[in-house]
Structure 1
Amino acid sequence: MIRLLLADDQALVRGALAALLDLETDLEVVAQVGRGDEVLDAARGAAADVALLDVEMPGLDGIAAAGALREHLPTCRSLIVTTFGRPGYLRRALDAGTSGFVVKDTPAERLADAVRRVHAGLRAVDPDLAVASLAVGASPLTERERHVLALAADGGTVAQLAGEVFLSEGTVRNYLSAAIGKTGARTRAEAVRVAQENGWL
């Protein structure tokens, strides 16, 4: 029996996934959480074999949660199951140590097969997303540029951003300027949009 943890901030989605997966004779949902920062403890407590993680969750996103599992509980493999099939998310997820990445409209039998592949130590990646990821390429942003641009997505002045990241205003301006240039945008807001659409944030 493959023991599963489901992590998604939408209870309805979690319930639907649990119902579908529990129909499989070799799969058992042993834990469900609605926040990314609850994943590690829940996986430990339930002795989960595979964690199915949404990307966008409160507390910690699914990609960061996958990284925490890889570091602290490597016996539990992770599979990203998300609405947001963005190429940059796939690359970041694989870098964080996930074994698979599928979108939520994947047919139930393919999702179950992805879980089995991940449990067996194989990769399970949505083929269309893999092709899109290759076409888009890696994120051009450095980690600092990505961090500053992600904070800029919530608005705020350069002074406010500088205060949040403990950098000078000039340095923050430089990071924002570099991010704008690398995304081919004309404004900070457009750079945020481009980066979000590509899954770089």
Structure 2
Amino acid sequence: MIRVLLAEDMHMIRAALVALLRLEPDIEVVAEVTRGDEIVSAALRTGPDVAVLDIELPGVDGITASVELRERLPACRVLVLTAMGQPGQVRRALTEGIEAFLVKDAPGDRLADAIRRTAQGLRVLDPELVATAIEYGASPLTPREATVLREAARGAPAEEIAARLHLSAGTVRNYLTGAITKTGARNKIDAIRIAQDVGWI
């Protein structure tokens, strides 16, 4: 029996995935969480063989959680799910050593198969996602530019971002200008859209 931890913040999707996995005779969902910062404690408590993690979670994203999970519970393998095959996220997942990555709109039987393969230590990677990630390359943004752009995407003005990150408003504007230039955008909104579309933020 393959013991599975499922992390998904959208209740209907999580319930559907659990129902789907319950049809499999060799898979048991032993834990369900809605936040990324609940993953490690739930895994330590229940000892899953595979953690199926949504890439976009409140608290901590699925990739960050997977890194901590590997450190704390090395026997647990990770399968990351994404609704959008963003090349930047795929590239980041590969860089962090995640070997199983599946798009959420894949057919239901592929999820069960992916869990079985992940449990066996096999790679589960969509070739098209990997090819796109390689084509787009690494993010041109520095970590600070990405952070500032992410905050701007939430609607925070430069002054609020500056206060939150302990920077001056002028420095925040410089980071935003750098992000606009590096993404080839026309303005801040365009830079946010481009960076989100490819998974750089």
Please, what TM-score do these two structures have when normalized by structure 1? 0.93
Letter in 1 for 2:86: R
Q: Does 1:121 align with 2:121?
A: yes
Spell out, residue by residue over 1:72-118, the C-alpha distance to the aligned partner (whole angstroms, 9 max, x if none). 22221111112121111111222333221111111222222211222
Letter in 2 for 1:128: E
The answer to whether the 8 A contact 2:117-2:123 is kept is: yes
Spell out, residue by residue over 1:116-175, the C-alpha distance to the aligned partner (whole angstroms, 9 max, x if none). 222222211122211221222211111111111101112232222111111222322221
* Larger CA deviation: 185-194 vs 92-101: 92-101
Q: 1:104 — aligned with what?
A: 104
Q: 1:71 — aligned with what?
A: 71
Letter in 2 for 1:17: L
Q: 1:192 — aligned with what?
A: 192
Q: RMSD across aligned C-alpha pairs, in angstroms?
A: 1.4
* Larger CA deviation: 99-108 vs 46-55: 99-108
* Larger CA deviation: 144-153 vs 13-22: 13-22
Letter in 1 for 2:178: A
Q: 1:16 — aligned with what?
A: 16
Q: Structure 1 residue runs of 4+, over 3 Å off?
A: none
Distance 1:8 1:156 in 2: 26
The answer to whether the 8 A contact 2:91-2:134 is kept is: no
The answer to whether the 8 A contact 1:66-1:97 is kept is: no
Distance 1:10 1:157 in 2: 29
Please, what TM-score do these two structures have when normalized by structure 2? 0.93
Q: Does 1:40 align with 2:40?
A: yes
Segments of structure 1 that go 5 or more residues without pairing to the other structure are none
Aligned residues between the structures: 201
Q: Secondary structure at the match of 1:122?
A: coil
Alignment of 1:73-92 (within 5 A): 73-92=73-92
